[in-house]
Structure 1
Amino acid sequence: MISNPSLLSYTCIAKGTIVLAEFASKENPGIEEVALRCIENTPPHHSIFSHTVHKKTYTFSIDGDSFVYFAILNEAMEKHESFWVLNRLRSTVEDLVRGGETLINPSRLCLQSKMDPVFAEIVGGVDLELDMDLVGSPRSVARESRNPSIDSSKGRRASLMPLLGKQLKALKKKNKRLHSEDDSSSDVATTMKETEEKKKVDLCGNGNGGVLRKELRNGLLTDHHHHRQKAKQMWKKHVWVVLMFDFCICAVLFGIWLWVCQGFQCVNGSRN
């Protein structure tokens, strides 16, 4: 599991633009729509891609043309933890495929019931045998039959979050006992970052479906421009060094000529 679950806003498994299973933090309402726009603009020709915008890190792990493992994280999360999340999802899907799971023409959230225990483990599920209320379980099916107005995604979150409620509280208490000062500062920083995030324009929403793609491209162009500027500065510096070296050699040779000719006598003698 990750050390601070509040830093994980969203993670999912997708095939193309179809989300097979997802976890969304209840502290970030509407983040599923943002994630879908990001998945629709998955950067090509990459196996791993990460980009940070507005204090959020968008990380892709791309398995060729098969699956995309995606996560939206707070930039404060350690890189090794973010990659661990995606690798954990990847290994689970590989086990399912080896076990005979067919995903040729998948439907949306078709792996949700199988991946909910994994999401619970990632964000700190301690005992998956207790307080289980996952999608597809008898209690979940009974509740959905009593309230058919709840759609599949809301039903999933409503069932997953009660499962994680007690476990997350226990984990936070444990972390506070072990790292009271670090956790306090981290919680304050996270709250401030979330407040600032709400004040800013939605990264991919409000009809700007290509914003993330532009941000990713601009990030790469900025790095390229920085390297070009640095190379240009190095070239100018080398040119100045060569010019100064040539000037010094010319000055030394001119001094030797003056010493041999004892001033400008050689010039005056040639004129006479």
Structure 2
Amino acid sequence: MNLEKYRVSNKIQLNNFKTKEVIEDANKALKKLRKKISKLQDAMYAEGKYSVLICLQGMDTSGKDSLIREVFKDVNARGVQVHSFKVPTELELKHDFLWRHYIALPAKGKIGVFNRTHYENVLVTRVHPNYILGENIPTVKKIEEVDDTFFYNRMDRINDFEKHISDNGTIVLKFFLNLSKEEQKNRLLRRLNIPEKNWKFSAGDLKERKLWDKYMFCYEDLLNRTSKENAPWFILPADDKPTVRLILAEILLKELKKYNFKEPTLPKKVLDQIDDFKTQLNNE
């Protein structure tokens, strides 16, 4: 599999990327990869030098929740932390826009998954600039000041944030689940047609769907402005769920292998006494 074709390395146009690929036996292949990811996380935890931040973005129904469940099913439960960022709370609004994301970062040895991320601050707020007024920013007095320059500045701050955490041992990998508008329609209808799925449906989903083109413009812009060597974006075809899960797992495995995580060895003084320790335990 050519995984580099999904990486945003140069300026891109979203409509040049497929929304659907189908890999046969993707579920079977994913089972094998899950075990390998688990072993890498164990080694990373033992080494204690790095953490991993996985950022997931995508339109409603793009499959983020089920992807997290299936890809990380075999990883030690204590080794994966998932954060889903909703509308900022009153406390969060009393801080800068990156504060709530910074305090949710994974500790060394762990994998952190942001289900919706700090990029909502240059995505949803760009589609709905009136949301910015609720942040009570001293330099923003009126809606006209929430312009492109405002969001370009925010993206620069996000680049700085990701550079800072990557310099300090956080491996940052960002994935945009590229869903087609037609497939979103099918998934929304499924939520309406299957009674036990009704709870997932929100009338707000239809309102946001009407803004599809604006969202795609904002996504394309942020992908081009914030995909860096230290924090790359990958655009994954999301119409087929088993396939997108497998591709993400393949990319994750490939990227983590670059770090050659090693479990620490015991000091020689302790190693020399291992046989004695065994004898003590066996003689109890």
Give TM class, smaller chain.
under 0.3
Rg comparison, structure with higher value: 1
TM-score (norm 2): 0.25
TM-score (norm 1): 0.26
